[in-house]
Homo-oligomer: A and B are copies of this chain.
Amino acid sequence: MNVVSLPTLSRVALCGGTHGNELSGIYLVRERLRRREKGAEAEPFALVTVMSNPRAVQQCRRYTETDLNRCFTEATLSTPVSDGTPYEILRARELNALLGPKGSPEAVDLVCDLHNTTANMGLCFISYSDCDWICLHIYRHLQREMATIPVRYVHFDLPIGEAYSLESVGKHGFAMEVGPQSHAVVRSNVYMAMKEGVQLMLDWIRLFNSGSISFEGGPVELYTKVKTIDYPRDSESHHISAAIHPELQDRDFCLLHPGDPVFLTFSGETLRYRGKEPLYPFFVNEGAYYEKGIALSLARRRRLSIPSIQSERR
């Protein structure tokens, strides 16, 4: 058997509150920080637990001036700072100094950034790579072990310099997106799923770092984002003029065929999918994306084979 040897993950970052109104990750990070203060169990590797945007968390808003999770491109991280630089850009630099610098040998080995969505996406990995064997093996571990929630992997096909979100600062990294949960609300089932997902990830890392076993490769399924669709809008006011159709709402990752209903206008008209290729919708009716002009995203499903891996003997 051909086994790929990879460096151990000696420094790992668990982040929450990158968006200040996504409460499961925020309460999970708070709970871990509280237990650590109390001198609860030590981690067998260096785990740094981070509240990414404390100012937005305090206000229970996604962000205060600009979306922190769009600030981690190389361009934004290297723009000179002035008096008018938004808080979130300053905070992105702090986080890049703490967990990166992005793309450097000093960067932490893995960043897991916790998010919630109003969309019915279950537990979803979001990553800029479709060949990061660490992320894909952790994903497969959660998919096998979690009984109560579907686990999927979304791949954003962007060069790492253009990758805009916090997890791109680590050598490996993914967002763990769990929903549906209203922003500024915590649902117990969503919190518990995220907590279980994080625990399974930490267990996997411990086992990987121990070097005692190799992790068998095999087929995995992932979704590569192709495009986004905006809401229909009034040409003058630019207000949206339709909501996601009831037949599409809550059906993230169910194949959308040409001709299927996508929107129902506020006056009652059904608008249909006019693409030529059946694709998989996700982030369907995500609350934070109205301002970004995204009603839903569409992905192509792919099957890959990942190799067996083990950690390098030290």
Contact = CB atoms under 8 A, between A and B. Distances in A.
Contacts of A191: 243, 266
A250 B267 CA distance: 29
A8 interface: no
Interface in A267-301: 267, 285, 287-288, 290-291
Contacts of A264: 188, 192
Nearest to A261: B188
Contact of A187 (B266, B267, B285): B285
A118, A184, A266 pick with most chain B CB within 10 angstroms:
A266
Interface string A79-119: 00000000000000000000000000000000000000010
B118 A185 contact: yes
A295 to B, nearest CB: 11
A214 interface: no
Q: Which of A183, A188, A267, A285 has the most CB of B within 10 A?
A: A188
A129 B121 CA distance: 42
A64 interface: no
Contacts of A234: 34
Contact of A186 (B187, B188, B243, B291): B243
Contacts of A180: 182
A66 to B, nearest CB: 15
Oligomer copy total: 2
A243 B192 CA distance: 10
Q: How large is the interface on A (under 10, 10 to 19, 20 to 34, 35 or more residues)?
A: 35 or more
Contacts of A185: 118, 182, 285, 287, 290
Given A31-B267, A267-B31, A189 B249 contact: yes
Contacts of A245: 188
Contacts of A239: 27, 30
A246 interface: yes
B249 A187 contact: yes
Contacts of A288: 184
Contacts of A28: 266
Contacts of A246: 188-189, 192
Closest 9 CB pairs of A and B: A182-B182, A188-B243, A185-B287, A31-B266, A118-B182, A184-B287, A186-B243, A188-B264, A188-B246
14 contacts: A60-B290, A60-B291, A118-B182, A118-B185, A180-B182, A182-B182, A183-B183, A183-B287, A184-B288, A184-B290, A186-B243, A188-B244, A188-B246, A189-B249
Interface of A: 27-28, 30-31, 34-35, 60, 118, 180, 182-189, 191-192, 234, 239-240, 243-246, 249, 264, 266-267, 285, 287-288, 290-291
